Amino acid sequence: MRKTAGAVIIGNEILSGKFADENAILLIKELRSLGVSLSNISMIPDDIDTIASTVVNFSNQFNIVFTSGGIGPTHDDVTIEAIAKGFDVDVIVHDEIMNLIKSRFSSKKMPTDILRLAHVPMGAQLTGTAEGWPVIQFKNIYILPGVPSVFRSKFNAISNHFKSDPFLMTQLYCDIREHNISFEIRQIAQNHPDVIIGSYPRIDATDYRTIVSIESSQSDAIESAVTSFKKSIGIHIVHITENFNV
């Protein structure tokens, strides 16, 4: 079975439009290239109960969960507390992270709130290191920061953990409008459950009107579906791009 993932993007600043989210876009692209199916993205505020219920729900539904944002020294950084509440565990100080913090600050210059960076849900472990700081993992949840550059570096540090069979895709360009071949598309989708079939109308192209995509990790499954399309609507297919990684 292909691995599934969910992403929880946390932050009032995202929902209010102060900052545009970049991390969901990165996950969409990178997880796809790793062969992981990103099944759901939720954008939620810095609210403990909302974070707790959302993360627990995602953890139960998907193989992998990524959170973005809400970890840091300020009052609205409540992701750690929320995850601990959701799973009914305590928040503890992780000795390894605490030692890292102490190594970077003298005791006289260490801001009190910076120590919150050492807080983790009880049972969490450290996996992967980026820019000298570890990634916090709790169960199947990877707790990542919201700053896009740091999010990217931490994701890159753990991305090999998730690598699976790549997605392959073939695209059929058809010179007919989508609604005129919707029945055939539906029939072929029903007869080929090992592939994912999508259809996308195009109104700005001159030589085609619909793109039909056929996706799978199995090239023979794609070829079988393409053969069915050729038999059914072959007269309308003007171009085919063969299996390529997506």
In the predicted structure, residue 231 carries a pLDDT above the cut 90: yes
Residue 205 has what pLDDT?
87
DSSP for the chain?
A: ---EEEEEEE-HHHHTTSS---HHHHHHHHHHHHT-EEEEEEEE-S-HHHHHHHHHHHHHH-SEEEEES--SSSTT--HHHHHHHHTT--EEE-HHHHHHHHHHS-TTT--GGGGGGGEEETT-EEEEEETTEEEEEETTEEEE-SSHHHHHHHHHHHGGGG--SPPEEEEEEESS-HHHHHHHHHHHHHH-TTSEEEEEE-SS-SS-SEEEEEEES-HHHHHHHHHHHHHHHGGGEEEEEEEEE-
Confidence of residue 244 (pLDDT cuts 50, 70, 90): low
In the predicted structure, residue 113 carries a pLDDT above the cut 90: no
Q: Can you tell me the mean pLDDT for 138-166? A: 95
Q: Can you tell me the mean pLDDT for 214-219? A: 92
Residue 246 has what pLDDT?
59
- Name the nearest CA neighbour of 27 among 46, 42, 12, 47: 42
Domains parsed from the chain with CATH numbers: 4-162 (3.40.980.10), 168-245 (3.30.70.2860)
Contact 44, 84 (CB under 8 A): no
Percent of the chain with pLDDT over 90: 82
Give the Cα-Cα-Cα angle 140, 146, 148 (nearest 5 degrees): 110
Q: Can you tell me the mean pLDDT for 72-95? A: 96
CA distances from 29 to 22, 36, 38, 182 (A): 11, 10, 10, 28
Residue 84 has what pLDDT?
98
Residue 104 has what pLDDT?
82
Residue 108 has what pLDDT?
63
Q: Can you tell me the mean pLDDT for 128-142? A: 93
Confidence of residue 103 (pLDDT cuts 50, 70, 90): confident
Contact 193, 225 (CB under 8 A): no
In the predicted structure, residue 245 carries a pLDDT above the cut 80: no
In the predicted structure, residue 139 carries a pLDDT above the cut 70: yes
